[in-house]
Amino acid sequence: MWFAQSPTPLAPLPTPDIVVEQLNQAGATGGLAGWKLALLTLYFVVCAALIVCVTLRTNKSEGLMQQSMSAPSQPTAKGKMTGEERLSDLTNNLAYAFLFLSMIVASVIRL
């Protein structure tokens, strides 16, 4: 029976000596360089702006799939751009910036 076992010893068990080795992953400077931090900040801003533009661009009646399958809207006449055309242009430019910055961040920053 398990309750009839002998009591545990009163003396504590010896603890092993544990050696902890900390690796310096951030480099010799102890952190990211200023230009890398600025690049990551710019990348974060572009990502957040792209998310906002894509969510603003979609109507409640249209899904993302319907919008991507439809023909691109071309302005019929020259003149001032409508709000939807400006938002579409901004979304395209942010998508190009996102792709370019993604390639730069992937090749430069090694975390």
Domain span at residue 103 reads 50-59+83-111
pLDDT at 111 over 70: no
For residue 90, is it within any domain?
yes
Q: What is the pLDDT of residue 20?
A: 75
Residue at 98 is within a domain: yes
Any domain includes 105: yes
Given CA atoms 31, 32, 35, 37 in this order, what sign does their dihedral have? Answer: negative
- The verdict on residue 1 lying in a domain is no
Separation CA 92–CA 68 (nearest Å): 13
- Give CA–CA dist 56/51, Å, rounded: 9
1 CB neighbour count, 10 Å cutoff: 4
- Please state the pTM of the whole predicted model: 0.54
pLDDT digits (tens, 9 = 90+) for 31-63: 678 888 899 999 999 999 999 988 887 665 555
Asked whether residue 103 is domain-assigned, the answer is yes
The end-to-end CA distance of the chain, in Å, is: 55
Compare 22 and 27 and report the one with higher pLDDT. Answer: 22
